[in-house]
Amino acid sequence: MDGCKNPMSFADLGLSPELLLAVEQAGYTEPTPIQAQAIPVVLMGRDVLGCAQTGTGKTAGFTLPMIEILAAGRSKARMPRSLILAPTRELAAQVAENFDKYGKNHKLTKALIIGGESMSDQIALLDRGVDVLIATPGRLLDMFERGRILLTDVKILVIDEADRMLDMGFIPDVERIVGLLPKIRQTLFFSATLGPEIRRLADAFLMNPKEITVAAPSSAATTIEQFLAVVEEIDKRETLRHIIRVEDVKNAFIFCNRKRDVDVLFRSLKKHHFDVVQLHGDMAQPARMEALGKFKSGEARLLVCSDVAARGIDIKAVSHVFNFDVPIHSEDYVHRIGRTGRAGQTGRAYTIATPDDGRFVVGIEKLIGTVIPRIAVEGVPALDLVMDPKRRGRGGKTAERPSRDGRKARGARDEVRTEEAPPREDRPAREERVPREERAPREDRVPREDRAPREDRVPREERAPREDRAPREDRAPREDRRNAKDRDSRKGRDRGERGGRRERFDSLGIGEMTHRDDAIGFGDHMPDFMLRTVTVKG
Ligand code: AMP
């Protein structure tokens, strides 16, 4: 785990013999710090505010005592006894796997309620009654609105990765869900960070919680060998291919900073006959699951991914991590390379930098407290990092750009390499910036319009009905609506104005028209590109 020795044993924590057996079968010899601190407190029935990241063993920290508590008692149809909210489907699925692993010696039932999967199967499970419900907020609300679930019997609530929920704009949904639960309950609230907004939520959801903080992994495991290659931007792919070919790569995560580049690199590797899959949030859920499944089973050796899509995904025995881009935030470097070298196994992490990445590499080396050894790759010129953005060296992004046909624009270097080149932060270089949704979560910032980042947004069909929309059952029957539509469009035509359309909305009880409703030719849907602000440079 994080290298921190804990003298306590699982047997000291008050767990039953069945759970101790499951823990032993999982191969764990001693509890991690979060487990040692959280398990006894949860067993006492107290609320917990846990500040811990993935990788600390927090899932077992709440799953084990929950199984212990739920072992006594039975569930009723459509009335789950406990609820775990996770921000993404992958994380929810991972929690469900944990329940199977630790609950194998118990007869508890669980349901995983996430988007992108058959609703009827999920409904059938709920109808039978479940002890543990693991859900993403959108699908859960949808089920609730359809009358498929009652939350009045929930005795334990877990909110996992709260800061990520905030980052993804799910907090209004979470607040709504919490409002549907009994006031008297036990709440376990986990977040990697505890900024003001997270604290506000914790104050609202928890009662006299025990606060448990475990240190973020700020140093990379000593079992990971790290290397850094500094090359021209245009040589990065060749560098990566070369290293993969000469290394004994059993399986590897390959991280890009932007999801757009994930796809480009994935296609490039595929073209070069590597067995590779990709993972980013713009992909449909079945494709995401398929890619992950292939990588987990070993069918695909390489997974190209973005930080956001791959965050929290737990795969053991990963032999390599490649940073195709140097992460902007140093902590991301630690998280990325922490995918390898787990549980005492050795791992190798390669980072491919361009000279311009100097200050990011320095930030990483400061955080991990060591200088990453530089390597040269055969056939690719090795360069130096540039620390001062004003003094660009050879190979900086502005020093030499690939021409349109992808080849180097030879001779361009001297022309462009100027001392006056504006510092990085003054240049707009939009295409070089990490998109808003891929930046490290700043929890004190509510995302624009409280929306989830596009790549992680829940597809329309899984979203809870909009609150400003009249509930389905309150709306006029379809037939009537159609008649009203015909009538009103006639009215509108007769008047030669759009008043008919407004009346139609009013008559349906939908309320005030928004600018979206006002769009002609798009029905109720206004494509996002129509709403985007465009700045025209004079
Ligand atoms: P989590 O932080 O819950 O995502 O857990 C990260 C990884 O640590 C998972 O692969 C767990 O199986 C593993 N793990 C959890 N508890 C322990 C433990 N006590 N000893 C060793 N590994 C553990």
Of 175 and 288, the structure prediction assigns the larger pLDDT to 175
pLDDT of residue 74: 86
What band does 307 get if pLDDT is binned at 50, 70 and 90? Answer: confident
Q: Which of 19, 28, 190 to mutate to test the pocket of ligand 1 (most atoms within 8 A of CB)?
A: 28
Residue entry with tokens 């990566």: 240
* pLDDT at 168 exceeding the cut of 90: no
User: Between 401 and 78, whose confidence is greater?
Assistant: 78
312 and 191 Cβ atoms separated by less than 8 Å: no
Instruction: Quote the DSSP letter at residue 451.
Output: P
Tokens of 471: 């509930």
> Greater confidence, 464 or 504?
464
pLDDT at 535: 58
Q: pLDDT grade, residue 120 (50/70/90)? A: very high
* 218 C-alpha to ligand 1 centroid (Å): 17
The answer to whether 437 touches 308, Cβ cutoff 8 Å, is: yes
Domain residue spans of the chain: 10-213, 224-368, 498-538
| CB-based burial label for 147 (10 Å; 0-12, 13-18, 19+) | exposed
Beta bridge partners of 159: 85, 189
Give the closest residue to 44 by CA, choosing from 152, 188, 171, 245: 188
Instruction: Give the burial string for 467-495 (b: 16+ CB within 10 Å, else e).
Output: eeeeeeeeeeeeeeeeebeeebeeebeee
Mean per-residue pLDDT, 166-188 = 94
Tokens 């709504």 belong to 176
* pLDDT, average across residues 287-307: 91
Cβ contacts of residue 534 below 8 Å, gap of 6+? none
Interacting residues of 371 by C-beta distance below 8 A, sequence separation 6+: 365
CB distance 187 to ligand 1 below 6 Å? no
pLDDT for position 348: 94
pLDDT at 496: 32
Using a pLDDT cut of 90, give the percent of the chain over it: 51
Residue 419 structure tokens: 């001392």
Mean pLDDT of 50-64: 90
Nearest CA to ligand 1 atom 20: 28
Mean of the per-residue pLDDT values for the chain?
76
Rounded to whole angstroms, how far apart are CA atoms 53 and 190? 8
The confidence score (pLDDT) of residue 384 equals 93
Q: How far from each other are the two terminal CA atoms of the chain, in whole angstroms? A: 55
Distance of CA 103 to the CA centre of its chain: 26
d(CA 92, CA 109): 16
Residue nearest to atom 21 of ligand 1 (CA): 28
E strand or H helix at 191, and its extent?
strand 186-191
The mean pLDDT value for 232-238 works out to 96
Query: Once rounded to an integer, what is the mean pLDDT over residues 148-175?
Result: 93
Nearest CA-CA partner of 198 in 247, 249, 164, 157: 164
pLDDT, tens digit, 9 for 90 and up, residues 379-393: 999 999 998 655 544
Atom 10 (ligand 1) nearest CA = 314
Q: List, in sequence order, every residue forming a beta bridge with 227; answer none if it has no partner.
A: 350
Counting atoms of ligand 1 from 1, which one is nearest the CA of 56?
A: 2
Q: Give the chain's count of helices (H) and strands (E).
A: 19, 13
Q: How far is the CA of 26 from the centre of ligand 1 (A)?
A: 9
Residue 103: band (very low, low, confident or very high) from pLDDT cuts 50, 70, 90? very high
Which of 96-100, 237-241, 309-313, 371-375 shows the lowest mean pLDDT across its residues?
309-313
Residue 441: count other Cβ atoms within 10 Å of its Cβ. 22
Interatomic CA distance for residues 149 and 164, integer angstroms: 25
Q: What is the model's pLDDT at position 472?
A: 42
User: Between residues 530 and 517, which one has the greater pLDDT?
Assistant: 530
Rounded-to-integer distance, Cα 92 and Cα 133, Å: 10
How many CB atoms sit inside 10 A of residue 118's CB? 8
**Token code pair at residue 21:** 């057996």
For position 531, what pLDDT does the model report? Answer: 55
Question: Residue of the nearest CA to atom 19 in ligand 1?
Answer: 31
Stretch among 141-145, 412-416, 435-439 having the lowest mean pLDDT: 412-416
Domain 10-213 has CATH 3.40.50.300: yes
d(Cα 453, Cα 445) in Å, to the nearest integer? Answer: 13
- Sorting pLDDT into bands at 50, 70 and 90, what band is 269? very high
Residue range 338-366, pLDDT digits in tens: 888 765 567 899 999 999 999 999 999 98
For residue 21, pLDDT beyond 90: yes
Which pLDDT score is estimated for 140? 96
Are the C-beta atoms of residues 363 and 336 closer than 8 Å to each other? no
Between 2.40.37.10, 3.40.1280.10, 3.40.50.300, 3.90.1150.10, what CATH number should domain 224-368 receive?
3.40.50.300
- Give yes or no for residue 485 having a pLDDT over 70: no
Q: Which atom of ligand 1 is nearest to the CA of 314?
A: 10
Tokens of 33: 């710090």
User: What is the full DSSP assignment across 217-249?
Assistant: --S--TTEEEEEEE--GGGHHHHHHHHHHHTT-
3-state helix, strand, coil in the chain (%, to 5): 40, 15, 45
Higher pLDDT, 478 or 498: 478
Higher pLDDT, 422 or 456: 456
Bridge-based pairing of strands 186-191 and 252-256 is unpaired
In this prediction, residue 529 carries a pLDDT of 54
How far apart are alpha carbons 17 and 518 in whole angstroms?
Answer: 63
CA distances, 78 to each of 97, 143, 149, 227, 464 (Å): 22, 10, 5, 53, 19
**What pLDDT does residue 417 have?**
26
For 11-96, strand residue ranges (E) read: 48-51, 82-85
Q: Which two tokens stand for residue 86?
A: 């996770």
List, in sequence order, every residue forming a beta bridge with 135; answer none if it has no partner: 85, 113
- How many Å apart are CA 59 and CA 171, to the nearest integer? 21
What are the beta bridge partners of residue 225? 348
Ligand 1 pocket test: pick from 20, 32, 316 the residue with the most ligand atoms within 8 Å of its Cβ: 32
Task: Please give the residue that has the higher pLDDT: either 401 or 339.
Answer: 339
Report the DSSP pairing between strands 252-256 and 320-323. Answer: parallel
Q: How far is CA 66 from the centre of its chain?
A: 24
Q: Is the pLDDT of residue 205 over 80?
A: yes
| pLDDT surpasses 80 at 106 | yes
Q: Are 47 and 206 in contact (CB under 8 A)?
A: yes
Nearest ligand 1 atom to alpha carbon 94: 4
- Per-residue confidence band for 167, with pLDDT thresholds at 50, 70 and 90: confident
Q: Give the strand order in the sheet containing 347-353.
A: 224-230, 347-353, 320-323, 252-256, 302-306, 276-279
- Identify the residue with better confidence: 112 or 409: 112
Q: In what order do the strands lie in the sheet with 132-135?
A: 110-113, 132-135, 82-85, 156-159, 186-191, 48-51, 210-213
Does ligand 1 come within 6 angstroms of the Cβ of 32? yes
Where does residue 83 rank: exposed (0-12), middle (13-18), buried (19+ CB within 10 A)? buried
Tell me the CA–centroid distance for residue 166 and ligand 1, in Å. Answer: 24
Q: Which residue has the tokens 């609300």?
A: 141
Looking at residue 117, its pLDDT comes to 80
Q: Is the pLDDT of residue 192 over 90?
A: no
What the block records as the tokens of 364 is 């990483």
Residue with tokens 């010129």: 381
pLDDT class of 286 with cuts at 50, 70, 90: confident
Task: Name which residue leads in pLDDT, 405 or 247.
Answer: 247
Position 446 scores a pLDDT of 35
Q: What is the pLDDT of residue 144?
A: 96
* Residue 416 CB partners (closer than 8 Å, separation 6+): 398, 399, 400, 401
Rounded to whole angstroms, the Cα distance separating 129 from 123 reads: 10
The mean pLDDT of 152-163, rounded to a whole number, is 95
The mean per-residue pLDDT over the stretch 233-256 comes to: 95
Provide the pLDDT confidence category of residue 432 given band limits of 50, 70 and 90: very low
